[in-house]
């Protein structure tokens, strides 16, 4: 069995303040691409994880990995005696603001629930997801949604305005820890996120972490400038806490031309041409 861990994008991310527990209160638009990491599972007596793919070297496969933590939590919740051998084909860069371990953990919950014949309704998977991390609940459904709180309060959204839109993801090849970016946030509340159609809200929105991320990793600013200079790019923004940025296009041809330009002009940058999921 296999499951795609769809790449997450924050089409907008407004940081509204700091919470008593040290986390930050945000408002965001979650969207997901058709591409992502690939998780495979086979029945086994115990739990084991291997990593393959272009970014496998950056993935620890011990018990602290979110995939194995998700698997163990699912076993405990349903008193499952069966195990699984898992292989994570890591196609996406790590510490990149596009879901990463959160998407992988969510994919593990979906995949193992199928493998072990467990119920997926009733909120049990969502409760496990929330305990694993702020982005995991949104990644569990991997569908357009509004996010609030730390990002764990997820409300499904009508994705009609963004469904199938071509998107180009670009990463300068520098890992950027989330905590460092939030710590460098200015502390200024720029106001709430509009509740229009997802595309209109995204266009009117912002990512309040871009400035801080660009100070820490100046290459992010270079990526954003390069994407903003491409004809046909309707929305250019950094995703999450970075370092991945994205450009949304109306037509696939414009996206593909942009991808060719990135490949020729910046061979050291990682890029991925895909589409947004409905």
What would the mean pLDDT of 185-196 be, rounded to a whole number? 96
- Tell me the three state secondary structure of residue 35: strand
Strands 245-249 and 153-156, by their bridges, are unpaired
Exposure letters 116-151 (e unless 16+ CB within 10 A, then b): bebeeeeebbbebbbebbbbbbbbbbbbbbbbbbbb
Boundary residue ending a domain (156, 184, 213): 156
Query: For 167-182, how does the pLDDT look when each residue is reduced to its tens digit (9 = 90+)?
Result: 999 999 998 999 999 9
The pTM score is 0.96
Choose the weakest-confidence range: 25-34, 55-64, 162-171, 210-219: 55-64
Q: Please pick, among 37, 87, 135, 208, the residue that the annotation labels catalytic.
A: 135
Residue 9 lies in a domain: yes
The proportion of the chain whose per-residue pLDDT surpasses 70, expressed as a percent, equals 100
Residue at a domain's end among 121, 138, 156: 156
| CATH code of 41's domain | 3.30.230.10
Q: Give me the residues paired with residue 41 across strands.
A: 86
Residues 49 and 97 placed together within one structural domain of the fold: yes
The DSSP H or E segment spanning 52 is strand 47-52
* Domain shared by 147 and 172, yes or no: no
d(CA 10, CA 96): 12
Active site (annotated) includes residue 135: yes
Q: What is the domain range of residue 255? A: 166-275
- In the predicted model, what is the mean pLDDT of residues 69-79? 97
Domain harbouring 221, CATH code: 3.30.70.890
Last residue of a domain, one of 156, 191, 221: 156
Per-residue confidence (pLDDT) for residue 121, from 0 to 100:
81
What's the confidence (pLDDT) of residue 259? Answer: 97
Give the pLDDT band (50/70/90) at residue 58: confident
Q: What percent of the chain has pLDDT over 90?
A: 96
Q: Is the residue at 46 inside a domain?
A: yes
What torsion, rounded to 10 degrees, do the Cα atoms 206, 9, 159, 29 define?
-40
In terms of domains, do 172 and 253 share one? yes
Angle formed by the axes of helices 124-132 and 66-78, to 10°?
Answer: 140
- Determine how β-strand 83-89 pairs with β-strand 24-44: antiparallel
Residues 152 and 171 in one domain: no
Let me know if residue 240 belongs to a domain: yes
Does residue 146 sit in the same domain as residue 186? no
Of 8, 87, 90, 208, the active-site residue reads 8
d(CA 146, CA 239): 15
Q: What is the mean pLDDT of the chain?
A: 96
Residues 75 and 170 in one domain: no
Do residue 249 and residue 143 come from a single domain? no
Distance CA 139, CA 33 (A): 11
pLDDT confidence tier of residue 151, bands split at 50, 70 and 90: very high
Say how many domains are in the chain: 2
Can you give the length of the chain in residues? Answer: 278
Sign of the CA dihedral running 60, 221, 32, 141: positive
Q: How many Å from the N-terminal Cα to the C-terminal Cα in the chain?
A: 23
Separation of alpha carbons 269 and 262, rounded Å: 8
In terms of domains, do 74 and 192 share one?
no
Per the annotation, the verdict on 150 as an active-site residue is no
Interval 209-227: pLDDT, tens = 999 999 999 999 999 999 9
Residues 228, 93: one domain?
Answer: no
Q: Are 141 and 199 within one domain?
A: no
Over residues 124-134, the pLDDT tens digits come to 999 999 999 99
Determine the 3-state secondary structure of 113 from DSSP. Answer: helix
Q: Based on the fold, state whether residues 110 and 171 are members of the same structural domain.
A: no
| Residue 45 and residue 149 share a domain | yes
Indicate whether 161 belongs to any domain. Answer: no
């Amino acid at each position: 069995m296999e499951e795609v861990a769809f790449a997450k994008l924050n089409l907008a991310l407004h940081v509204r303040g700091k919470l008593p527990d040290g986390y930050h209160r945000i408002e965001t638009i979650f969207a997901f691409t058709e591409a992502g990491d690939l998780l495979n599972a086979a029945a086994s007596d115990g739990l084991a994880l291997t990593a393959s793919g272009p970014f496998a070297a950056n993935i620890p496969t011990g018990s602290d990995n979110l995939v194995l933590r998700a698997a163990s939590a699912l076993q405990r919740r349903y008193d499952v005696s069966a195990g699984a051998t898992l292989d994570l084909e890591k196609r996406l860069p790590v510490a990149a603001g596009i879901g990463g371990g959160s998407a992988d953990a969510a994919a593990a919950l979906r995949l193992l629930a199928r493998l072990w014949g467990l119920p997926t309704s009733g909120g049990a998977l969502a409760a496990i997801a929330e305990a694993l991390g702020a982005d995991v609940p949104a990644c569990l459904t991997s569908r357009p949604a509004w996010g609030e709180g730390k990002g764990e309060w997820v409300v499904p959204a009508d994705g009609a305005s963004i469904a199938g839109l071509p998107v180009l993801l670009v990463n300068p090849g520098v890992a950027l820890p989330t905590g460092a970016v939030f710590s460098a946030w200015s502390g200024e509340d720029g106001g709430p996120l509009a509740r229009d159609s997802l595309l209109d809200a995204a266009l009117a929105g912002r990512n309040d972490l871009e400035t801080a991320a660009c100070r820490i990793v100046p290459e992010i600013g270079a990526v954003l400038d390069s994407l903003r200079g491409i004809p046909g790019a309707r929305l250019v923004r950094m995703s999450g806490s970075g370092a991945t940025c994205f450009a949304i296009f109306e037509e696939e041809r414009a996206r593909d031309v942009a991808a060719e330009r990135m490949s020729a002009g910046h061979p050291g940058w990682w890029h991925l041409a895909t589409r947004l999921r409905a």
